Amino acid sequence: MNLMNRFRDKQTVTLLLKKIEESAKPDKNYSIMEICGTHTVAISRWGLRGILPKNIRLISGPGCPVCVTSQGEIDLIFDLLDKEDVTVAVYGDLMRVPGTNGENLLYLRGKGKKILIINSVVELMKIADEKPEEDFVFVSIGFETTTPQTAFLIKESAKKGIKNISVLLFNKTMPEILNLLLEDENLAINGFIAPGHVSTVTGDELYYGIIRKNRAAVITGFEPVEILEGVMEIIKQVNTNIFYVGNCYKRVVSGRKNIKAYELINEVFESSDAVWRGIGLIKNSGLKIRAEYEDFDAMLKYNLKPYSHNERVGCKCGEVLKGYIKPMDCTLFGTYCTYENPYGPCMVSSEGTCAAYYLYGGVD
Ligand code: SF4
C-alpha cells in the first residue's frame, strides 16, 4: 500500500470511527476546533463532520490567511495600485478577494493594472533583478509557516542590493489568537486540532498555553486517518483530564521549534498589533518591518495610510472565523455569495470555511 493510500484506507477509517464511538461519553459534548484552513478543507472534503458521533462537534477557526486579512488591508492594495505605477506581486489566492468597492485584483489586471502572480519569493527576486526599472510590491499574508519566506525575501534583497522590491506586510501570528479563543466563553472548546504546517516552524511550544488551560492540543496531518487519530487523541485527553501536546503528524512535525526560521523572522521583523477580519485589533498578533530594513516597507515607501477595517455589508466572515456560526447561517451563503461569485473572503479563499462548506457540503 502506498503512503497516501495508508492514510486514506477505508478499513482504518472504519476502525478509528468505532474506537471514537466507544470512547466518546454519550452524556458529554466534545467541541473541537481546527485552527488551520487546510484542515477545514480536508475535514469537509472527506465528509468527516457527518460521520462522527453527534456529540463531537468540529468547529472551524480563524486559520485561513486570506480570510483573516482585514478589509482595510485588502483596500490598501487597491489604494496603492490607484496611486502608484508599481507591479503588485501576490500568491494566486488573493486574486479574487474583493475590495470594499467590489472590485478584485483579477478585474484590475484585466483593466491593465500590473499584477503579478508568483509561486515563490525567489521567483520575485529574479524578476525584480532582471527589471530594475520597474518597482515591485509583494503583498505578504500568512502565519508562521510563510513568514520566514518574506523575511528571507527582504534579507536577501538587501544583501544583493535589489532596491526595487518592497513589502506590504500583513502577516499574523498564532499565539495571541489562540489565547483569545481559549478565553472565549461562547465557544467552550475542549480541544484543538493544531495546524500541521505552522507546527513545523513553531514546534510544540505554541500550544503550551492550551494545555495549561486544561484543553487538549493535538498536531495532526491532513489525511482522513490522521485527522481521526487526532480526534481520538483529543477525546482521550478530555476523558482522562490529562492534557499534553499530542503529535499525530510525526512523519512531518518533530515538535521542536525551527530556530533558524525564528532567527530570520526576528532579525527582519518585530512584533506589532494587527487587525483581524471580523475579530478586530489583537495586541502583538502581527509583525512590522524593523527599522534596519525600512527601505523595504511599502507603507513608508509609498506613504500609505492605514484604512478603516469595516466589513463588507452583510458578510458574516467575522462570526464564521470565530466559530460562532456556520457558513449556512449567513443569509448570503449560496445565494448572493457563491464560490463562482464570492462576496466575502471566506468564500474566495481555497482554504476558506464558506468555500469548503459550499464545495463539499456541511452538517447541521
Ligand atoms: Fe461572507 Fe459569503 Fe461567508 Fe456570508 S457566505 S460569511 S458573505 S463569505
Q: Which of 44, 330, 341, 349 to mutate to test the pocket of ligand 1 (most atoms within 8 A of CB)?
A: 330
Which backbone phi and psi does 52 adopt, to 5 degrees?
-85, 155
Lowest mean pLDDT segment, chosen from 60-69, 215-224, 327-336: 60-69
**Going by CA atoms, what residue is nearest to atom 8 of ligand 1?**
344
CA distance 152 to 8: 36
Three-state secondary-structure class, residue 178: helix
Residue range of the domain that includes 201: 29-364
50 has pLDDT over 60: yes
Please state the rounded mean pLDDT for residues 334-359: 91
User: How high is the pLDDT of residue 227?
Assistant: 96
**Is residue 199 in a domain?**
yes
| pTM, 2 dp | 0.91
CA of 193 to the centre of ligand 1 (A): 24
User: How high is the pLDDT of residue 310?
Assistant: 76
Mean pLDDT value across the chain? 93
User: How high is the pLDDT of residue 46?
Assistant: 94
> Which tens digits make up the pLDDT trace of 217-263?
999 999 999 999 999 999 999 999 999 999 999 888 888 999 999 99
Please state the rounded mean pLDDT for residues 291-314: 90
CA of 184 to the centre of ligand 1 (A): 22
**Is residue 124 in a domain?**
yes
CA of 58 to the centre of ligand 1 (A): 19
CA distance 271 to 265: 10
CA of 125 to the centre of ligand 1 (A): 35
* C-alpha distance from residue 26 to each of 55, 112, 212 (Å): 7, 59, 26
**Is residue 218 in a domain?**
yes
Please state the rounded mean pLDDT for residues 194-223: 92
SS (H, E, C) 266-327: HHHEEEEEEEECCCEEEEEEEEEECHHHHHHEHHHHCCCCCCCCCCCCCCCHHHHHCCCCCH
Nearest atom of ligand 1 to the alpha carbon of 330 = 4
**Is residue 1 in a domain?**
no
Pocket, ligand 1, Cβ cutoff 6 A = 315-317, 320, 327, 330, 332-333, 337, 343-344, 346-347, 354
pLDDT bin (cut points 50, 70, 90) of residue 362 is: low
Please work out, in degrees rounded to the nearest 5, the angle formed at the alpha carbon of residue 179 by the alpha carbons of 173 and 184: 130
Pick the closest to residue 168 from 252, 279, 94 (CA basis).
Answer: 94
**Is residue 17 in a domain?**
no
**Is residue 79 in a domain?**
yes
* Radius of gyration for the alpha carbons in the chain, expressed in angstroms and rounded: 21
CA of 344 to the centre of ligand 1 (A): 5
Pick the closest to residue 300 from 166, 172, 128 (CA basis).
Answer: 166
User: How high is the pLDDT of residue 72?
Assistant: 92
**Is residue 364 in a domain?**
yes
CATH, residue 226: 3.40.50.11740
CA distance 163 to 344: 35
User: How high is the pLDDT of residue 22?
Assistant: 97
Cα dihedral value 337, 341, 345, 347, nearest 10: 60
User: How high is the pLDDT of residue 306?
Assistant: 82
> Which tens digits make up the pLDDT trace of 149-171?
999 999 999 999 999 999 999 99
> Which tens digits make up the pLDDT trace of 89-112?
999 999 999 998 889 999 999 999
Nearest atom of ligand 1 to the alpha carbon of 333 = 5
Three-state secondary-structure class, residue 140: strand
CA of 181 to the centre of ligand 1 (A): 21
What percentage of the chain reaches a pLDDT higher than 90?
80
CA distance 253 to 313: 40
> Which tens digits make up the pLDDT trace of 36-48?
999 999 999 999 9
The amino acid that residue 80 corresponds to is: L
Nearest atom of ligand 1 to the alpha carbon of 344 = 8
**Is residue 53 in a domain?**
yes
363 has pLDDT over 80: no
Burial 42-54 (b: 16+ CB within 10 A, else e): bbbebebbeebee
Structural domains of the chain, count: 1
pLDDT bin (cut points 50, 70, 90) of residue 191 is: very high
